[in-house]
Amino acid sequence: MDLIVIAPLVVLCAGLVMIVFRTRARFRQMSDRAHRAEAELAAERRLHSTTRLESHAASTRAELLTHVFDALPLPVWWRGVGNEIAGHNAAFNSLGPMDDDGGGPELATRALIGQARALARNARDRGKPLRERRALVTHGNRRVFEVI
């Protein structure tokens, strides 16, 4: 073969080899991206499954605590972030007459309610329970309750 024919064939072959190597490198990059995406998706699915299980466990614990609180003969209530009464047990309803808006028993005057909310704020800010005694009327009898 003539040198004039061989030289262009060598250049053409070298160009084809370069194209093959670049194509293989691009496919390798795409394959790596696909594997990373699959790994991220699998991790997201595991996280979702774990979160769902933790959520179910938390709701089961909350339901169990509700049953435990309802079984107590003493009134129990807890306050929300805004220091309003966020929840209570069944015995809480026996504390006395309902307040004006029908939201629960009327525990005390506005001044005493303000003191109770201040106690709750102090306990939350300090990160530990505080105690206070209150005289309340339940079923027509005056009783002293320890508020924690």
Lowest average pLDDT, out of 60-64, 66-70, 112-116, goes to 112-116
Q: Tokens in use for 143?
A: 């009783």
- pLDDT at position 145, please? 74
**pTM of the predicted model as reported, rounded to 2 decimal places:** 0.41
The string of pLDDT tens digits covering residues 10-19 is 888 888 888 8
Q: Which of 8-12, 80-84, 100-104 has the lowest mean pLDDT?
A: 100-104
Contact 145, 136 (CB under 8 A): yes
For 136-142, the CB contacts below 8 A with 24+ separation are: 136/95, 136/96, 136/107, 136/108, 137/96, 138/75, 138/94, 138/95, 138/96, 139/94
The winner for highest mean pLDDT among 11-20, 39-48, 106-115, 125-134 is 39-48
Spatial CB neighbours of 10, under 8 Å, sequence gap ≥ 6: none
pLDDT band, very low/low/confident/very high, at 102 (cuts 50, 70, 90):
very low
Specify the range with the lowest mean pLDDT, choosing from 8-17, 63-72, 74-83, 106-115.
106-115
Residue 69 scores a pLDDT above 70: yes
Q: pLDDT band at 2, cuts 50/70/90?
A: low
